[in-house]
Amino acid sequence: MEKHPQALLIFSLIFITFSALHPVEAQDQKGFISLDCGLSPTDPSFNDPSTGLTYSTDDGFAHSGKTGKIKKEFESIFSKPALTLRYFPDGVRNCYTLNVTQDTNYLIKAVFVYGNYDDLNNYPSFDLYLGPNLWSTVDMNGRTNGTIEEIIHRTRSKSLQICFVKTGTSNPMVNTIELRPLKNNTYNTQSGSLKYFFRYYFSTSGRNIRYPNDVHDRKWYPFFDSKEWTEVTTDLNVNTSNGYEPPQAVMASASTPISTFAPWNFTWSLPSSTTQFYVYLHFAEIETLSSLDTREFKVELNGKLAYERYSPRTLAMETIFFSTPQQCEGGECILELTKTPKSTLPPLINALELFTVIDFPQLETNQDDVAAIKGIQNTYGLSKVSWQGDPCVPKQFLWDGLNCNSLDISTPPIVTSLNLSSSQLTGIIAPGIENLIHLQELDLSNNNLTGGVPEFLAGMKSLLVINLSGNNLNGSVPQTLLQKKGLKLNLEGNSDLICPGGLCVSKDGNGSKKTNVVIPVVASVAFVVVLGSALAFFFVFKKRKTSNNEAPISYTQVSDVRTARSNSEPAIMTKNRRFAYSEVVTMTNNFKRVLGKGGFGMVYHGTVNGNEQVAVKMLSHSSSQGYKEFKAEVELLLRVHHKNLVGLVGYCDEGENLALIYEYMANGDLREHMSGNRGGSILNWETRLKIVVESAQGLEYLHNGCKPPMVHRDVKTTNILLNEHFQAKLADFGLSRSFPIEGETHVSTVVAGTPGYLDPEYYRTNWLNEKSDVYSFGIVLLELITNQPVINQSREKPHIAEWVGFMLTKGDIKNIMDPKLYGDYDSGSVWRAVELAMSCLNPSSARRPTMSQVVIELNECLANENSRGGTSQNMNSQTSIEMSMNFDIGTTPDAR
């Protein structure tokens, strides 16, 4: 492939399987879900005369709403499924729940036709959600012919929820809901789902094409520029068996420029310059060429070369698509096909699909918890309007009576509290409650529950509060429940309950018997809150005069800790343990065992309370950091808590003696393991992926879970620590800074960080945002892939990003993979990890993924590796060839 002055775009070529030399027949509707919303449950399923699709009632899929029908004057415009509808006058969120196949690509469509069903002539506007994530805002104002929302989405679980949320005075409504399973090797994205933008085939026919011609029930619209193009058609069969399978009628026509020497151009406008999209180009040579004729052309998107010399296959379709999301400057895009000097014929194209990227970052509630809470709902016949959709998220639609906990956006929320007090419950205490394994509080008070107190309640390890007062429970209370330490139990008002030793009374968390435990607990909590607030204000030290400038850590030397403190910094406010220096000396056995050394100072091994191992980091008087970084790290760790961030046990702030006491990480830092300095076996690819997933989760929490959000500013392999189970935790927060929210895009600050990991855009502009961490994380990911140093002057390209880009031009990924892995890895997960790393290193921070997107992508890489079963896989695919990749540094690897 010849050199091209501009960065080459990533794209793939999907070609036909030549063993299938027959046209695709119309398939059955296996896996299709076609709901006629509002159709009476007594009405039978029916075939739509215009498509042959079988529609059935939505009864049983939605548990709320009322049915309606569009006015007769509109009926002639629409097909039968759109004549009825379901609208939702009650509640804020109303949902459909559909059973689907997990980890499957689905084309999902919802059709909305108002048709003045309510005689109000008031076109509704409302929000449409897919599970816990916003899909679209449906505004039907002026849309007499209705509107359709369509996406391609990969399911995460065995159920899918489509929800309608009232945002104003009008009622949400829907006419049809349709799901069509697609082949999983088509319409894949780096992250996010695909929102329909357009789907054209190039013909003058004027005919929309849908099922049964399209076996996946996509709708194709004709488009033709008669001033610039000439139409080419054929009556011969075109082999479309490449997974995408467009209809014969789509591939049997094509457009070419009127002039043999003119390029074929197609333009479109996006909502903004930041809109990301995927485009799919479908080609087949449908002209009969003479022996002297050649059709060869290059493909460019906005002037960037995507395919240098492409020739469509005769009567056999191929699909070119871009493997990474694209953007267009100013939102204006142009696709151009230009004949090569070798070609005697102009370019030709048959069809084109384009989708914008829509991110659904919020994970659904833990599926075991969802199953449990729905089982409880069914047991008691609960029909609460709010109990629809995802139980925990988004938070504004949290089910009544539930509390949930979500550590970060990358962790499924869990149910921690269930309050069904005064809910008119009858029968026994539902056995399904036992399945809420994270439950901390259970309130079933003031109902009509009968039967005994089940022993399984004592076995629920997380349960701290049980309120069963005001019921009609009877029998003996399990001894194990009464003896459970830390449990607050309220059994009042159940006169038939029998406890060992006589009448049942409530007990507090210490096992002490009380006649009423609820009021004292509430009062105690309130007192603690008030007292804590008062103490916090009382112990606030007077803030000293602060310096306006931050010194670059590379150049500033702090020779006297007391000077650094007195010039700028107030004392630390904390209720965590503050250790005296004498205690630090004791816990480290007079600083006997050194664990390591960093920019802050020496790190020593220690023990607290005789058995809890800790790491003690002492500030050196000659440290290039100092009290500012010490204080920043303490105060950040006091307010952030995440399983993938190193926890702070305490600190010492006594004169010149400053120390941070952390939880002990038995397996040291990641760099030591990669370099082999710790001995032992080499980390395999699965372990490396697990480590970067956990590190990414910690970083994602800083960006999205902290208020205000934080930028780490020093992400590197030496700051990723591993505990005894090789769980990864991010460490060293001395350089961390909060970054802006509410519309601001960056904070201006003096550059700080580690050479090699430092974001070049941040270095150039002094503008810091969370994407600076993303860049550093991309470097870490390359280190895990290659096991190469970040900077090595003996290489042809000293910096690791440049070196990887250079090596990829040689085609084989083995050139960059750590040879110590001996090829034992899933090639697909490796390629995805390489592509993800290089996207993190995009020179433009706006084009880098977010850490939420990074977490999702890495989890998919890990899933691919886990599914491999420990055997190496062939890198080449029968259906996909990677022709070129855009790493923004001009790399062009060969086919994989």
3-state secondary structure string across 288-305: CCCCCCCECEEEEECCEE
> Would you say 648 and 576 are in contact if contact means Cβ atoms under 8 Å apart?
yes
Residue 547 gets which letter from DSSP?
-
> Would you say 343 and 297 are in contact if contact means Cβ atoms under 8 Å apart?
yes
Residue 877: partners with Cβ closer than 8 Å, 6 or more residues away: none
CA–CA gap between residue 24 and residue 212 (Å, rounded): 11
CA–CA gap between residue 558 and residue 54 (Å, rounded): 76
> How many H helices and E strands in the chain?
15, 50
Largest CA distance in the chain: 104
394 prior amide bond cis, ω within 30: yes
Q: Which residues of 626-654 are buried (b: 16+ CB within 10 A; e: fewer)?
A: bbbbbbbbbbbbeebebebbbebbbbbbe
Q: Is 538 strand, coil or helix?
A: helix
The two three-digit tokens of residue 310, written as one number:
């492409």
708 prior amide bond cis, ω within 30: yes
If you write DSSP's letter for every residue of 821-841 in order, what string do you get?
GTT-S-HHHHHHHHHHHHHHT
- What end-to-end distance do the CA atoms of the chain give, in Å? 15
If you write DSSP's letter for every residue of 614-677 in order, what string do you get?
EEEEEPPTT-SS-HHHHHHHHHHHHH---TTBPPEEEEEEETTEEEEEEE--TT-BHHHHHHTT
Instruction: Work out whether the CA dihedral 12, 243, 135, 371 comes out positive or negative.
Output: negative
For 474, counting Cβ atoms within 10 Å of its Cβ (0-12 exposed, 13-18 middle, 19+ buried), the class is middle
- Catalytic member of 714, 732, 759, 818: 714
CA distances from 470 to 299, 444, 449, 494 (A): 74, 9, 9, 6
CA distances from 241 to 238, 245, 355, 861 (A): 9, 6, 22, 28
Q: Is 617 annotated as a binding residue?
A: yes
3-class SS shares of the chain: helix, strand, coil, % to 5: 20, 30, 50
Place of tokens 């709901």: 35
> Would you say 799 and 757 are in contact if contact means Cβ atoms under 8 Å apart?
no
Half-sphere exposure of 738 (CA within 13 A, CB side): 13
Question: Of the candidates 828, 846, 827, 847, which has an alpha carbon nearest to the alpha carbon of residue 887?
Answer: 847
Residue 6 gets which letter from DSSP?
S
The two three-digit tokens of residue 666, written as one number:
């038995």
The two three-digit tokens of residue 240, written as one number:
């479309």
Strand partners, 163: 95, 129
CA–CA gap between residue 187 and residue 816 (Å, rounded): 28
The two three-digit tokens of residue 874, written as one number:
């062939």
Residue 118: partners with Cβ closer than 8 Å, 6 or more residues away: 68, 87, 171
Q: Is 461 strand, coil or helix?
A: coil
CA–CA gap between residue 238 and residue 248 (Å, rounded): 6
How far from chain centre, in Å, is Cα 840? 16
> Would you say 121 and 104 are in contact if contact means Cβ atoms under 8 Å apart?
no
Residue 863: partners with Cβ closer than 8 Å, 6 or more residues away: none
Q: Is there a catalytic annotation at residue 653? A: no
CA–CA gap between residue 767 and residue 790 (Å, rounded): 23
Place of tokens 């070119």: 320
CA–CA gap between residue 791 and residue 786 (Å, rounded): 13
Kindly list the catalytic residues. 714
Binding positions for ATP: 617
